[in-house]
Chain A
Amino acid sequence: MTSPTANPTKYESVIGIEVHVELATKSKMFCGCAVEFGAEPNTNICPVCLGLPGALPVANAQAIEWIMEIGLALDCEVSERSIFHRKNYFYADLPKNYQISQFDIPVCHDGHLDVTVDNNTTRIRIERAHMEEDTGKSTHIGDGGRIHSAESTLLDFNRSGVPLVEIVTRPDIRSAAESRVYAQELRSVVAELGVSDARLEEGSIRFDANVSIRPEGQEELGTKVEIKNMNSFRSLERAVEYEIERQIAAVDAGRPIVMETRHWDEEAEVTHSMRIKEGSSDYRYFTEPDLVPMLMDESWVTAVREGLPELPADRLVRYQSQGLEGDLAGVMSAASTPVRSVYENAVDSGADPKSAANWLTGEVTAWLRRNDTDPTDMSLDGAQLTELLAIVDEGVVSSSAAKEVLVGVLEGEGTAREVAESRDLVQISDLSALEAAVDAVLDANPEAADNYRSGEQKVLGFLVGQVMRATQGKADPKQVNQLLRGKLAS
């Protein structure tokens, strides 16, 4: 073992992440029961998902199509023929005491996802994405809800048999921040595909991390520790960070790393040991004899591939090519679907991409947040945004008045032009009317005019303000400025 030295060893962390995604199919993986979050306990159950004697599973074709979508979105290969296995272990919320899962021939394998942290892009290889079923849910009653001290356990089998996709990376992740970004990127891919609710707080997407450390430059992997129970991106990052530091401290102090599963304690922000793994667990996998192989022929794979929506990473590149720079491209491409479709439609109808994106990610998003409005219910479409940008360009409204026009549009008062009229925000474009207002101000303030003429330039601002006030803000300040200079010079 290494002893502490004056020159401490530098360590590299090696991280792999397993993600479980619950698919939002109408029915469960192997029976017709509804997939529904938050239903009364044990209402969406039947002989199959309860594991009653004699019941048999039948695979859900929609789920197989959706795991193919996930796999293809991650550039995986789809197996032509894939089989289910039984993974045997006893647990009260696992009705059959085996989970129908996959072993050596997953539906998807060998893909990747690129993640960028601090302008460094790393390719994270995906080893596999396989299909399985979720378990039921145990609620431990008494003494803090921990299994070992619980007085009783309540079982809810509504979740039993919900289609679950497990996505496993190779050990390509090198930091806690990369772990978080990988998880976020993966979540946005799944959300984009629309195959899962992908809600961390509801457990419809769950992350486990395998963390090990090794001295920098060493090829051989260190002993890995699995960490569980991270239910936000932040807690994933914190847990990985904590675990790396814990392992470094242990090794530096001459203590060995034990192969085990550790539980992330959200409140204490530490991991603690759940169970020690003695070698690899023996799940006695064997081919599930109740199910026939899944056959994914080329035409099916092609059809699924062609039906894939644009993925966030591709969209980012496209937005950048439209002229969005830096953060604006990132924020716009990660915006919600309704906000993005306003952007897309506006750009299609000739709006300047940068202005459209600025309005949407700025004023529009702020208004939605202020009014607690769901973007799907927003009464702004691409055509209206284009019109708003146009009336600003044409000088019909000032850019400050334009913000008020936007509010009117978002409040459903009509198109941008209609709102500008009805809210009386149209700039005075009639030169003679403006001249009259300027003359009136000069007449009323002879002293100020004289001061300007004698060289006191800053008085001009006061005079402009007076004109704007007299016109209730509808004058173009630039134009007022010019008129004043002209008249004062003569």
Chain B
Amino acid sequence: MTLHDLTIVEAGARLRSGETTSADLLAAVLDRASQTEAQIHAYLTIDRAGAAEAAAKADADFADGIDHGPLHGIPMALKDNMCTRGLETTASSQILAGYVPPYDATVTTRLRDAGAVLIGKTNLDEFAMGSSTENSAYGASYNPWDIGRVPGGSSGGSAAAVAVGSALGALGSDTGGSIRQPASLTGIVGMKPTYGTVSRYGLIAFASSLDQIGPLARSVDDAAVMLEAIWGHDPLDSTSYAGEYPDLHSGMGRDVRGLRVGVVKELSGEGYEPAVEEAVATMVERLAAEGAEIVEVSLPTFDIAMSAYYLIAPAEASANLARFDGIRFGHRAEGATTNALMARTRAEGFGPEVIRRILLGTYALSAGYYDAFYGQAQKVRAAVQEDLARTYKTVDVLVSPTSPTVAFVAGDRVDDPLAMYLSDICTIPMNLSGDPGISVPISLDHQNLPIGFHVMAPSLGESVLFRVAAEVERLAEFTAKPVLQEVAG
């Protein structure tokens, strides 16, 4: 197996046995990036110098017997909405073209402290608004399984990089499914942790009450070691969880005998591709065969979760994105007055989907409409949480497809925002509730496109979540790798 195809755990073993070096791993993924970037466009920025320095440092550390743990010396990527000191961070927006943050996000600091080698910044839908990574001011990313298709989004660059081998692992952010859905569409593992467990400090906010950073990885085990490196209380984020954190490894490798698995009735039917439904049903049967107790559950609020999400997220975004005004940083347009300068900066700097959501959110918060829209959406959010609390009295985890469809053809949903929004129908409820969810690849459809299996658990239920996810991974035996079409030159 080539170095760029290793999991983090495998690569870590080779680093420690002296079989390979961090510099070798970095060279392998950078080689892979030069072979694939023209077709995939996973990266916005590659920091060769910084990465080389970090790799050299890791190798020196290992030589000195210093070991910072599983991510030490591992080449990894960051979604370009996480601040990196001294390295351009754009959130895929024209309005942040050339913006170099003066500080590191907490996750960046934690990865650096864990000895990870940061390769660069990956592409996303502008400000993480989208499900295909086509809404990027710097050009779309494409799916390694079929370069005519999208990698999902908004963490499509991170997902594509991990899938194609230009990073061993990557961080994404998930506001409505932006880690899990692209992981599903690119055949990798993507996990959204419990809200508040990973610091949002330095994550360029989309919707503060929904955003959560998490890992995109080649295995459930890799996702677990990445999560362990980045989560934990952060005094710089008031919403950061300060209590005891779950033990991720306590359940991994154990069977699922006696676990009650709820199959969500609302996340099936119309709009779901038969191949996706069949693959999910097959996995549910296999879990049953392993001794899990399968229960069909109904969560009626899931049907209206999407509508609530598309009021809450834009409302918060309308305020979060107000700071991009051309005054203190980023793109600045000319204007005779301050107001004209701000208005023109924003008109020039934001793409159409971002403007659409700012307008939606501004409207939803306006006097006279607040109760009907934002206020109502908050009630639905509370109802989703109650629905889940009730359901978790009878089941340990919930399962569904991660995405109703496999990767769709690039350009297909660009002009149809509603169709695009439906890509996240299975993942959005976990953002509204704050609960964790994970997507594990289980099979390929007839077109050789990956299908992801979605496992959900109550808040801070990561132990049981990883236990089930690891079992799904074991049962699926999904080992396929995308084969890129050779490009001349």
Say whether A and B bind each other. yes
A positions within 8 Å CB-CB of B: 47, 50-59, 86, 88, 90, 92, 95-98, 153, 155, 280, 282, 284-286, 289-292
B71: min CB distance to chain A, Å: 22
Q: Which residue of A lies closest to B93 (CB)?
A: A53
Q: How far is the CA of A90 from the CA of B209 in the complex (A)?
A: 22
Q: Which residue of B lies closest to A59 (CB)?
A: B238
Residues of A within 8 A of B208 (CB): 289-290
Q: How far is the CA of A286 from the CA of B377 in the complex (A)?
A: 13
Residues of B within 8 A of A280 (CB): 367
CB-CB contacts below 8 Å: B389-432 with A: none
Q: Is the CB of B323 within 8 A of A53?
A: yes
A294: min CB distance to chain B, Å: 10
Q: Is the CB of B83 within 8 A of A96?
A: no
Contacts known (A47-B103, A284-B366); A54 close to B315, Cβ less than 8 A? no
B204 within 8 A of A: yes
A27: min CB distance to chain B, Å: 13
Q: How far is the CA of A98 from the CA of B362 in the complex (A)?
A: 13
Q: How far is the CA of A342 from the CA of B101 in the complex (A)?
A: 55
Residues of B within 8 A of A286 (CB): 315-316, 319, 365, 370, 374
Q: Which residue of B lies closest to A281 (CB)?
A: B367
Contacts known (A95-B323, A97-B325); A56 close to B236, Cβ less than 8 A? yes
B203 within 8 A of A: yes
Residues of A within 8 A of B89 (CB): 53
Q: Give which listed residue, B102, B105, B207, B322, contacts A98 with CB less than 8 A.
A: B322
Q: Which residue of B lies closest to A32 (CB)?
A: B236
Q: Which residue of B lies closest to A285 (CB)?
A: B365
Q: How far is the CA of A337 from the CA of B91 in the complex (A)?
A: 55
Contacts known (A54-B202, A54-B203, A98-B322); A90 close to B374, Cβ less than 8 A? no
Contacts known (A284-B362, A289-B208, A290-B208); A56 close to B237, Cβ less than 8 A? yes
Further pairs besides A153-B338, A284-B319: 11, Cβ < 8 Å = A52-B102, A53-B83, A53-B89, A54-B203, A54-B204, A58-B236, A88-B318, A90-B339, A97-B322, A289-B208, A292-B238
Q: Is the CB of A51 within 8 A of B328?
A: yes
Residues of B within 8 A of A98 (CB): 319, 322
Q: Is the CB of B239 within 8 A of A282?
A: no
Q: Is the CB of B83 within 8 A of A90?
A: no
Residues of B within 8 A of A92 (CB): 325, 327, 338, 342
Q: Which residue of A lies closest to B103 (CB)?
A: A47
Q: Is the CB of A90 within 8 A of B342?
A: yes
Q: How far is the CA of A95 from the CA of B329 in the complex (A)?
A: 11
Q: Give which listed residue, A50, A58, A282, A285, contacts B328 with CB less than 8 A.
A: A50
Q: Is the CB of B96 within 8 A of A53?
A: yes
Q: Give which listed residue, A51, A59, A153, A290, contacts B323 with CB less than 8 A.
A: A51
Residues of B within 8 A of A90 (CB): 322, 325, 339, 342
Contacts known (A47-B102, A54-B83, A289-B209); A86 close to B319, Cβ less than 8 A? yes
> Size of chain B's interface in residues, with CB distance under 8 A?
45
Q: Which residue of A lies closest to B99 (CB)?
A: A53
Q: How far is the CA of A61 from the CA of B334 in the complex (A)?
A: 41
B34: min CB distance to chain A, Å: 30
Q: Per-position contact with A for B314-344: 1 when CB-CB < 8 Å, else 0?
A: 0110110011110111000000001100100
* 7 cross-chain CB contacts under 8 A: A51-B328, A54-B81, A54-B202, A58-B236, A58-B238, A289-B239, A290-B205
A455: min CB distance to chain B, Å: 93
B positions within 8 Å CB-CB of A: 81-83, 89, 91, 96, 99, 101-103, 105, 200-205, 207-209, 235-239, 315-316, 318-319, 322-325, 327-329, 338-339, 342, 362, 365-367, 370, 374
Q: Give which listed residue, A51, A95, A285, A290, contacts B238 with CB less than 8 A.
A: A290
Residues of B within 8 A of A52 (CB): 101-103, 323, 328-329
Residues of A within 8 A of B366 (CB): 282, 284
The list of the 7 closest CB pairs from A to B, nearest first, reads A97-B322, A289-B209, A289-B208, A284-B365, A54-B202, A53-B204, A51-B323
Q: How far is the CA of A408 from the CA of B181 in the complex (A)?
A: 85
Q: How far is the CA of A312 from the CA of B238 in the complex (A)?
A: 38
Q: How many pairs of residues, A versus B, come closer than 8 Å at their CB atoms?
A: 105
Q: Is the CB of B201 within 8 A of A55?
A: yes
Contacts known (A53-B99, A286-B374, A290-B239); A96 close to B322, Cβ less than 8 A? yes
A114: min CB distance to chain B, Å: 36
- The SS class assigned to the A binding surface is loop
Q: Which residue of A lies closest to B127 (CB)?
A: A53
Contacts known (A284-B362, A290-B238, A292-B239); A54 close to B322, Cβ less than 8 A? no
Q: How far is the CA of A289 from the CA of B204 in the complex (A)?
A: 14
Q: How far is the CA of A292 from the CA of B209 in the complex (A)?
A: 11
Residues of B within 8 A of A290 (CB): 205, 208, 238-239
Residues of B within 8 A of A50 (CB): 328
Residues of A within 8 A of B323 (CB): 51-53, 95-97
Residues of A within 8 A of B102 (CB): 47, 52
Most buried by B among A53, A88, A97: A53
Most buried by B among A50, A57, A90, A286: A286
Residues of A within 8 A of B328 (CB): 50-52, 95
Q: How far is the CA of A97 from the CA of B362 in the complex (A)?
A: 13
Q: Give which listed residue, A56, A282, A292, contacts B200 with CB less than 8 A.
A: A56
Q: How far is the CA of A285 from the CA of B371 in the complex (A)?
A: 12
Q: Is the CB of B322 within 8 A of A291?
A: no
Q: Is the CB of A282 within 8 A of B325?
A: no
Most buried by B among A55, A291, A292: A55
Residues of A within 8 A of B99 (CB): 53
Q: Is the CB of A54 within 8 A of B105?
A: yes
Q: Is the CB of B319 within 8 A of A54?
A: no
Q: How far is the CA of A59 from the CA of B99 in the complex (A)?
A: 28
Q: Which residue of A lies closest to B375 (CB)?
A: A286
Q: How far is the CA of A53 from the CA of B83 in the complex (A)?
A: 8
Contacts known (A90-B339, A282-B367, A286-B319); A53 close to B239, Cβ less than 8 A? no
B143: min CB distance to chain A, Å: 28
A10: min CB distance to chain B, Å: 37
Residues of A within 8 A of B200 (CB): 54, 56
Q: How far is the CA of A51 from the CA of B370 in the complex (A)?
A: 26
Residues of A within 8 A of B239 (CB): 289-292
Residues of A within 8 A of B83 (CB): 53-54
Residues of B within 8 A of A53 (CB): 83, 89, 91, 96, 99, 101, 204-205, 323-324, 329
Q: How far is the CA of A249 from the CA of B324 in the complex (A)?
A: 46
Residues of A within 8 A of B203 (CB): 54
B202: min CB distance to chain A, Å: 4
Residues of B within 8 A of A58 (CB): 235-238
Residues of A within 8 A of B325 (CB): 90, 92, 97
Most buried by B among A57, A92, A285: A92
Q: How far is the CA of A138 from the CA of B475 in the complex (A)?
A: 64
Q: Which residue of B lies closest to A91 (CB)?
A: B338
Residues of A within 8 A of B96 (CB): 53
Residues of B within 8 A of A284 (CB): 318-319, 362, 365-367, 370
Q: Which residue of A lies closest to B339 (CB)?
A: A90
A463: min CB distance to chain B, Å: 85
Q: Is the CB of B319 within 8 A of A291?
A: no
A178: min CB distance to chain B, Å: 33
Q: How far is the CA of A280 from the CA of B367 in the complex (A)?
A: 9
Residues of B within 8 A of A56 (CB): 200-201, 236-238
Q: How far is the CA of A52 from the CA of B367 in the complex (A)?
A: 28
Q: Is the CB of B322 within 8 A of A155?
A: no
B485: min CB distance to chain A, Å: 37
